[in-house]
């Protein structure tokens, strides 16, 4: 009986006519005022691993924590509502979500067509883990949908993109690539971690699956590890849910609660991240010790118009080159006082790192340089602090 499917979907959530901020607060956590109910205004943390039944052959709504948990279900409903998805699944990490997705939908002999600029952990998973299962990945500059179409092979089953990418902030025309995928019968996966559903909703643009690292903007406070998959297709959802249950890559109740709590302020945080990042990007663009600045909100970004067309904001992540050597870049990073030298992104605090030796160290040097990840490229996750303090910190470290 354990293999039965439980649907974590937004059908019972507030109507889609509600605004994003209202859904972020209420979806999945509607107050139960029926007789005997507690009337909790936030989802309770349910720690039980198993659930009682009154008859041997008739389990209740919940059966076993790996299959479903009330706190995790509340989170999955909220995530689905925010991404305009029918179904959501929450995982123990972003890479656990990606692994489950790949195991669920691909087999030996299949191949993936991916953006040439991806999160280093995703590339490591594709190139060093799934090759042993007979699943190959080829990479293409997905800023051009025609290049994607020309790279499709008979074995291609999936297209995998980030938009914006990590760490070069390149964009893919999601709608155009969705059309390519549809023509060839491919599954389009979009990692939406950098913009969050507040700024961009890939399912509305034609994607089949949206991936999130909940660790980043959705959790928002650098205190929870998690991942998510969002889909509209019921058959696809049921297949993913079966594999999640079978492999056990589920988000624990307390982590689900922390993510629920973080999501309530997502809209407020994303607005501040975006405003601060744009000001920081403009400051850096005018500094004589800084080379290229990569941020879709800048008019100098080659895909600035696409960014405005398919998203409602530009996010809080930017990258830039410090003029000089790798040692100069390291000295700059180590002089910062407010920006914290650390991997990850999307927290309320500003984080900064050197991709070549940190987040993308697992990517071969020749490959990094080929796509533009230099030894002096710095990635910053601009937080919600006072932007004048952030700029002053950058200024003194560059001096």
Name the residues annotated as catalytic.
Answer: 66, 119, 191, 216
Inter-residue contact 3 to 245 (CB < 8 Å) = yes
Inter-residue contact 153 to 184 (CB < 8 Å) = no
Residue with tokens 């509607």: 30
Name the DSSP class of 361: T
160: nearest Cα among 129, 204, 190: 190
- Distance between CA atoms of residues 138 and 308, nearest Å: 29
Q: Is 310 exposed, middle or buried (0-12, 13-18, 19+ CB in 10 A)?
A: buried
68: nearest Cα among 41, 48, 85, 86: 48
Q: Which residues have a Cβ under 8 Å from the Cβ of 53 and sit 6 or more positions away?
A: 59, 60, 63
- Distance between CA atoms of residues 167 and 56, nearest Å: 53
- Distance between CA atoms of residues 86 and 79, nearest Å: 10
Residue with tokens 């710095």: 378
Bridge-based pairing of strands 187-191 and 209-213 is parallel
Q: If you write DSSP's letter for every residue of 143-169 in order, what string do you get?
A: TSHHHHHHH--TTEEEEEEESS-TTT-
Longest Cα–Cα distance of the chain, Å, equals 74
| Partners of residue 217 on adjacent β-strands | none
Q: Is 144 exposed, middle or buried (0-12, 13-18, 19+ CB in 10 A)?
A: middle
Handedness of CA 141, 142, 146, 148 (dihedral sign): positive
Inter-residue contact 283 to 391 (CB < 8 Å) = yes
- Distance between CA atoms of residues 290 and 285, nearest Å: 7
């Amino acid at each position: 009986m354990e293999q039965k499917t439980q649907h974590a979907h937004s059908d019972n959530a507030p109507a889609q006519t509600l605004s994003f901020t209202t859904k972020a607060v209420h979806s999945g956590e509607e107050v139960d005022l029926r007789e005997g109910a507690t009337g909790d205004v936030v989802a309770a943390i349910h720690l039980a691993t198993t659930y009682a039944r009154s008859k041997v052959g008739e389990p209740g709504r919940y059966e076993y924590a790996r299959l479903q948990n009330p706190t995790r279900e509340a989170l999955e409903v909220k995530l689905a509502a925010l991404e305009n998805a029918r179904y959501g699944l929450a995982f123990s990490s972003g890479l656990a979500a990606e692994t489950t997705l790949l195991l669920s939908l691909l087999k030996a002999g299949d191949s993936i067509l991916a953006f040439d600029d991806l999160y280093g952990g995703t590339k490591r998973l594709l190139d060093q883990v799934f090759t042993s299962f007979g699943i190959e990945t080829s990479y293409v500059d997905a800023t051009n949908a025609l290049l994607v179409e020309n790279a499709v092979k008979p074995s291609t089953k999936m297209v995998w993109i980030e938009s914006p990418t990590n760490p070069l902030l390149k964009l893919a025309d999601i709608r155009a690539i969705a059309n390519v995928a549809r023509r060839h019968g491919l599954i389009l996966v979009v990692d939406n971690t950098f913009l969050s559903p507040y700024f961009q909703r890939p399912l509305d643009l034609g994607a089949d699956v949206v991936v999130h690292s909940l660790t980043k903007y959705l959790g928002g406070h650098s205190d929870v590890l998690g991942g998510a998959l969002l889909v509209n297709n019921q058959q696809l959802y049921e297949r993913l849910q079966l594999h999640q249950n079978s492999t056990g890559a589920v988000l624990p109740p307390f982590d689900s609660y922390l993510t629920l709590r973080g999501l309530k302020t997502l809209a407020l945080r994303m607005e501040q991240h975006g405003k601060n990042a744009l000001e920081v990007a403009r400051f850096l663009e005018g500094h004589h010790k800084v080379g290229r600045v990569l941020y879709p909100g800048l008019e100098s970004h080659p895909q600035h118009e696409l960014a405005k067309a398919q998203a409602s904001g530009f996010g809080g992540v930017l990258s830039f080159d410090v003029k000089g050597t790798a040692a100069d870049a390291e000295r700059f990073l180590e002089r910062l006082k407010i920006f914290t030298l650390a991997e990850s992104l999307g927290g309320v605090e500003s984080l900064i790192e050197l991709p070549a030796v940190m987040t993308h160290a697992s990517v071969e040097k020749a490959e990094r340089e080929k796509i533009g990840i230099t030894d002096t490229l710095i990635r910053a996750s601009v937080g919600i602090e006072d932007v004048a303090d952030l700029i002053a910190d950058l200024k003194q470290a560059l001096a």
